[in-house]
Structure 1
Amino acid sequence: MKLARWGARGAERPGLIDAKGNLRDLSGHCTDLTPDMLAADRLSRLAALDPASLPLVPGEPRLGVPLDGIGSIIAIGLNYRDHAAETGLALPAEPVVFSKHRSSLAGPYDPLAIPPGTEKLDWEVELGVVIGNAAWQVSEDQALDHVAGYCTANDVSARDWQIERGGQWIKGKSGPGFCPLGPWLVTKDEVADPQALSLSTHVDGRRKQNGTTADMVFPVRALVAYLSRFMVLEAGDVIVTGTPAGVGLATGRYLYPGAVMEVEVAGLGRQRVVVG
């Protein structure tokens, strides 16, 4: 299934994308898409619905973050071999872990304002992994059993805040709109192999990133297992799993007012964000 939330910010309603790409209203079957809806039995009930029986949503409403009530946003740095190479850094022996503040969440088409005080706003297309049930010290073999689905993510980064302000990457990763998610949450049954997905970024129509999740240093199952050694991953937590080569940091060319930033993970949808 492709699950979405639509409507004005703070008043989103649940929806489902049918096989023809139409947005259908799920309000008659759930009040919202929240972490408790990621339980296997609840997802099964939604999957059993005939999409044609659901009301069509007219027009082109705003799409919001595809899950309400996200708890933690856990991010992984230097997790693509080509990205580590372009930064001149060695591949990490263990995953590089940081976090993004929940206030950075945004819908896939919401505009992004460049915050005062940064001149180095960058893009990072990423595969987002949505936890469906709690994971504590699970093995790699068990790890994907705790995943509900996947989404396109963009780890927007103020590089000057991240690198030039005394460490603590969270400072450069957490501004308003720095974590667009969606347009949909795609349940894991529709993703045959999370390590076989292409990723891309375009800025003003020019390709900046062109990668594949096969290039990850630590694949999804390894990341879930690794993180679960140190923390309880809870339903609704999101792991953003790293970015391939082609970020602005590598060339010193960053986002600017009026730029149109499009990021996409194959099968998970494309975002389009206008920078202001």
Structure 2
Amino acid sequence: MTTYLFDEPKTQSIPVKGEAAEYPITRIFCVGRNYAAHAAEMGVEVDREAPFYFTKNPQTYLATGATLSYPPGTENFHYEMELTLVIGKPVFRASVSEAKDAIYAYGCSLDMTRRDLQLVARSKQRPWDLGKDVEGSAVFSPLTKAAEVGEVGPQRIWLTVNGETKQDAHLSDLIHNVAEIVADLSKYYHLAPGDVIMTGTPAGVGPVVAGDVIEGGIDGLDGIALTIGAAE
């Protein structure tokens, strides 16, 4: 039995509706620029040939309903409302049909972003880690099994800040749909249970400050909420 010099990190996990056991997180993949209107508001062109990815550490997980301290090093902390999917069986170099069959469940999520740091990194052609891989920045609602959700496309996705609507779109606006994302990512990774994929955000992203309350939802899924606390 292996012993460690320090306590090993806690395995982060997401509740699943109808299950006593939770879904463990091993990796978080994020799709960038997957809504044309959001790409336009960020001043970049859409790549329709293939999805664009970045990652978050599993330890950035935060459950819906939490309060997140305003993070250090930023003066422009943004919300991004997203559909998340999770993998239910091993899949590698999958067809679109095989990829769709590998999706276990869906949920609402927030990709909280230090936008000023992300844009500095982008301008210098550097990785986005300081902007995106932020403690508490991967917020998830309980998951709903794919079989209960049905076809992904017509569902509305929305977000409010202090009751004011900021993002309002439909999942049919996704440039790369959920099966296409999984199929493409499986070209580069042996995907397996534990892999979480955040599929991108619609237009309407913007900053929040301490005291703001974020709420969001997707038709047919449990909603999501986050309160922004004071900086530490």
Which TM-score applies when normalising by structure 2? 0.87
Cα distance in 1, alignment partners of residues 171 and 15 from structure 2: 29
Q: Shift of residue 15 of structure 1?
A: 7.1
**Cα–Cα, structure 1 residues 15 and 151, in superposed 2: closer, same or farther, change >3 Å?**
closer
SS in 2 for 1:153: strand
Cα distance in 2, alignment partners of residues 146 and 10 from structure 1: 22
Describe the superposition over 1:32-89 as per-residue Cα deviations: whole angstroms up to 9, x where unpaired.
32xxxxxxxxxxxxxxxxxxxxxxxxxxxxxxxxx3x301100000001221222232
Q: Shift of residue 13 of structure 1?
A: 10
Partner of 2:161: 203
Which of 9, 15, 35 pairs up with 1:80?
Answer: 35
Cα distance in 2, alignment partners of residues 198 and 234 from structure 1: 28
Cα distance in 1, alignment partners of residues 12 and 82 from structure 2: 27
Partner of 2:46: 91
Q: Which amino acid aligns with 2:111?
A: D
Q: Which consecutive residues of structure 1, in runs of 5 or more, have no partner in the other structure?
A: 1-8, 18-24, 27-31, 34-66, 249-253
Structure with higher Rg: it is: 1
Partner of 1:266: 219
**Cα–Cα, structure 1 residues 230 and 12, in superposed 2: closer, same or farther, change >3 Å?**
closer
Single out whichever of 99-108 and 81-90 deviates more from structure 2.
Answer: 81-90
Q: Shift of residue 11 of structure 1?
A: 11
Cα distance in 1, alignment partners of residues 64 and 11 from structure 2: 15
Cα distance in 2, alignment partners of residues 272 and 102 from structure 1: 19
CA contact (8 A) 1:82 1:215 kept: no
Cα distance in 2, alignment partners of residues 103 and 111 from structure 1: 16
Which of 178, 181, 185 pairs up with 1:227?
Answer: 185
Cα distance in 1, alignment partners of residues 143 and 59 from structure 2: 19
Q: Which amino acid aligns with 1:203?
A: V
Q: Which amino acid aligns with 2:184?
A: Y
Q: Which has the higher strand share?
A: 2
Which of 180, 186, 196 pairs up with 1:238?
Answer: 196
**Cα–Cα, structure 1 residues 266 and 170, in superposed 2: closer, same or farther, change >3 Å?**
farther
**Cα–Cα, structure 1 residues 114 and 78, in superposed 2: closer, same or farther, change >3 Å?**
same
Q: Which consecutive residues of structure 2, in runs of 5 or more, have no partner in the other structure?
A: 1-9
CA contact (8 A) 2:12 2:61 kept: no
**Cα–Cα, structure 1 residues 227 and 13, in superposed 2: closer, same or farther, change >3 Å?**
closer
CA contact (8 A) 1:195 1:220 kept: no
Q: Shift of residue 115 of structure 1?
A: 1.3
Partner of 2:65: 109
Partner of 1:255: 208
**Cα–Cα, structure 1 residues 14 and 190, in superposed 2: closer, same or farther, change >3 Å?**
closer
CA contact (8 A) 2:16 2:144 kept: no
Q: Shift of residue 12 of structure 1?
A: 8.8
Partner of 2:114: 158
CA contact (8 A) 1:103 1:174 kept: no
Q: Shift of residue 264 of structure 1?
A: 1.2
Superposition map of 1:25-174 within 5 A: 26=20, 32-33=21-22, 67=23, 69-92=24-47, 93-165=49-121, 166=124, 167-174=126-133
CA contact (8 A) 2:12 2:58 kept: no
Describe the superposition over 1:98-122 as per-residue Cα deviations: whole angstroms up to 9, x where unpaired.
1011111000111111112111110
CA contact (8 A) 1:264 1:271 kept: yes
**Cα–Cα, structure 1 residues 107 and 194, in superposed 2: closer, same or farther, change >3 Å?**
same
Q: Shift of residue 16 of structure 1?
A: 4.4
Q: Which amino acid aligns with 1:258?
A: G
- Tell me the number of residue pairs that the alignment of Structure 1 and Structure 2 aligns: 216
Partner of 2:5: none
Q: Which has the higher contact order (CA 8 A, sep 6+)?
A: 2
CA contact (8 A) 1:130 1:150 kept: yes
